[in-house]
Structure 1
């Protein structure tokens, strides 16, 4: 995080960044040699899952065995341990903690502008800036290989993620504090990046779909009318109405959550009434954590608001880094999101639930959208990887010392090429770990429910 920002000159801070090259030369980021006592990846996943809903764990493993990229998405804890075994720069930022390329996407700002940014913060925690960059680049390499891209194109895409990150940090290092804070990537800025008319139409279609993904849209897809009132549909095991004990708990923690919002947002929330709630299975790495959706109604039944309540546990980074500033895991997630995103959900809040479990709240759908990475050509994936790198640089510049990081990165592509080499090597490791999980399923060590 920023140190002595008020007294050190930009030149001093850049020099501090250059000095970090002695701790971790830029070329050293190319290295990936598994530690001699590297933990078994399946054991890491099993240990992480001990406190989760055990009946849902086969779904998690079924989703992770689907492909190497799906495995990477669910294996943030595995990669966190691997990154921690390597030398690092000591240049700290608020990390996303799980900055793979599918954790970037579209969402609405409070002003109803569609933005492109990071969109998952379950693992956010202060740490060395390059950990996020390496996870992003590795995910790009894994995705490119899954798409069947030639190895040179795989390398170029991974290098684009690191290169645009470096370019973004250096650009922001030259800007003032408020200018950096107000920086954002408007979704309309994506269109000039697309050259062909066909691709432009595809991007416009993605933006249009995102704008339609609202609570009103969700009302039609996730509810049915029972005795004249909307009720969340029953789609087991992915969506199941909350039982009486859960419903009572949710009503209680709803009032506790309300207290973490600012006064004007509490007033807005008070205009809605509690209608229904259900347990929902979400994501890949999150499967097994306790997650609910709550349907609220405002002016009438046709004025819905869907909120998501998600369990917040320890970040996968916490075992490998000094203590962070937040004791409550839900507070950690909310504060990290507000720091990293250019604009955040007005209903973000946190509280403790039954058995002292930590949760955070947010809108379930607020014009959210994501890219279809699986269908991307080498050129499109390279452009998208660069866009993610730019967004990550903007996020890191808000919490870290961007001038020191820029000084460390420098004007050459030394860092970019090193990270690309790491990404290819780690993609090999990830493929081996994915195969190990598949073998564990076949051997009956873990159970998997594919296709759920």
Structure 2
């Protein structure tokens, strides 16, 4: 039986609250809007340097970085979620990543000195990415190397087993996938019948000339945290070329594109349509992902589509050792730095690097970054406990 949209919204709101109550690390992931509100209200806000305006992730936490395959299935570690992307101050991505690393370290019972070392390692890794001639990438930490190795070896059967529980061409109805109303099925079928969408899907599938595309199955996808409550559909499509009888299956993620909560730099011009904005940001920050995405409109709302590649995985951290935490901070900051740097000229890179590496006290990391991460860690610890109290009383 399909879940009515109003009932679905209420259930998703409770799910989101439950996810955010699991740990302060999870709370940070689902608290993007208040992160920027609290940052603006903090005493350190005035000390954050104004970097060159570039496309930034906007929600740059650990779970939004990981292996991402390009259209030819080559795998790189890149930003994997661009819902909040805007043209803005790149310092925001550093602060948000620093906060995510700090909460992951605290969840691993690591001492505060490790956080200080991670912030220093972040600046080192990010600065390397801004240096035009350097050929000395930070070492891949074990947590990154293992997930990348797993990603490279994955094929469609692994995706089907993870997402669909089987290789059969059907999306199971369970706690993750909910049955759709007939009207929702109709508009999804119409979306893939659209000539432009169909042609782009064929292109991404490598089909040249005549081909067939059909919607095999679809379901509402209860996925994510901060995006819960918005449109999210998993669609299984079948694509075949010419007279070929064999059909290639693909799992497509349709996600509602919403207005970003991230402060925009000055008078920068961006696509007014949220789906087109996400697509533009993805192409700038995460080329592997951007080349596999399509902006569209569904049920009167902007959405973006992307085929889920078996190689797309997130970096999951159950427990960090001190050494792994510092190595991850350096390497992931390098990845973010690469995403920012590819949008800048060599001279702009060096100017931004000099601004970031300027020291105003005795520690290696700039004090504005350290103070911003500490301030946000304190604010989110308080917010998390209040969230747990409200959720516990009303749950």
**2: distance between equivalents of 1:225 and 1:90?**
49
Contact 1:137 1:159 in 2 (8 A): no
2:177 is aligned with 1:239: yes
| Aligned equivalent of 1:248 | 186
Cα 1:221–1:263 change in 2 (3 A) is: closer
Report the Cα offset of residue 322 of structure 1.
5.0
Cα 1:399–1:292 change in 2 (3 A) is: same
Contact 1:211 1:367 in 2 (8 A): yes
Report the Cα offset of residue 352 of structure 1.
1.1
Cα 1:398–1:82 change in 2 (3 A) is: farther
Cα 1:103–1:352 change in 2 (3 A) is: same
Contact 1:118 1:392 in 2 (8 A): yes
Q: How many residues align?
A: 371
Contact 1:247 1:277 in 2 (8 A): yes
Kindly provide the CA deviation profile for residues 318-349 of structure 1, in whole angstroms up to 9, marking residues without a partner as x. 58965641111011111101100143354310
* Aligned equivalent of 1:163, options 106, 124, 141: 124
Structure 1: 5+ residue stretches without partners: 1-49, 176-182, 448-452
| Aligned equivalent of 2:379 | 429
Report the Cα offset of residue 213 of structure 1.
4.2
**2: distance between equivalents of 1:347 and 1:161?**
29
2:99 is aligned with 1:138: yes
1:33-432 paired onto structure 2 within 5 Å: 53-85=9-41, 86-87=45-46, 88-91=48-51, 92-169=53-130, 171-172=131-132, 193=140, 205-223=146-164, 230-236=169-175, 238-256=176-194, 258=197, 261=200, 264-265=203-204, 268=207, 270-299=211-240, 303-317=248-262, 322=267, 324-344=269-289, 346-354=291-299, 356-400=300-344, 401-410=348-357, 416-432=366-382
Contact 1:105 1:119 in 2 (8 A): yes
3-state DSSP of counterpart to 2:355: helix
Contact 1:261 1:347 in 2 (8 A): no
Contact 1:162 1:419 in 2 (8 A): no
Superposition RMSD on alpha carbons, in Å? 3.1
TM-score by length of 1: 0.74
Report the Cα offset of residue 154 of structure 1.
1.9
3-state DSSP of counterpart to 1:53: helix
Kindly provide the CA deviation profile for residues 166-187 of structure 1, in whole angstroms up to 9, marking residues without a partner as x. 2322x13x58xxxxxxx9x9xx
Of 318-327 and 283-292, the range deviating more from structure 2: 318-327
**2: distance between equivalents of 1:352 and 1:308?**
14
3-state DSSP of counterpart to 1:268: coil
Of 252-261 and 387-396, the range deviating more from structure 2: 252-261
**1: distance between equivalents of 2:186 and 2:269?**
33
Cα 1:302–1:206 change in 2 (3 A) is: farther
3-state DSSP of counterpart to 2:220: strand
Contact 1:68 1:142 in 2 (8 A): yes
Cα 1:151–1:294 change in 2 (3 A) is: same
Structure 2: 5+ residue stretches without partners: 1-5
Cα 1:393–1:334 change in 2 (3 A) is: same
Kindly provide the CA deviation profile for residues 56-105 of structure 1, in whole angstroms up to 9, marking residues without a partner as x. 10000100011000000000111122333423433322110001122110
Kindly provide the CA deviation profile for residues 326-380 of structure 1, in whole angstroms up to 9, marking residues without a partner as x. 11101111110110014335431011111x2110000123302233322220110
TM-score by length of 2: 0.83
**2: distance between equivalents of 1:424 and 1:224?**
42
**2: distance between equivalents of 1:225 and 1:259?**
26
Report the Cα offset of residue 240 of structure 1.
1.3
Report the Cα offset of residue 223 of structure 1.
4.2
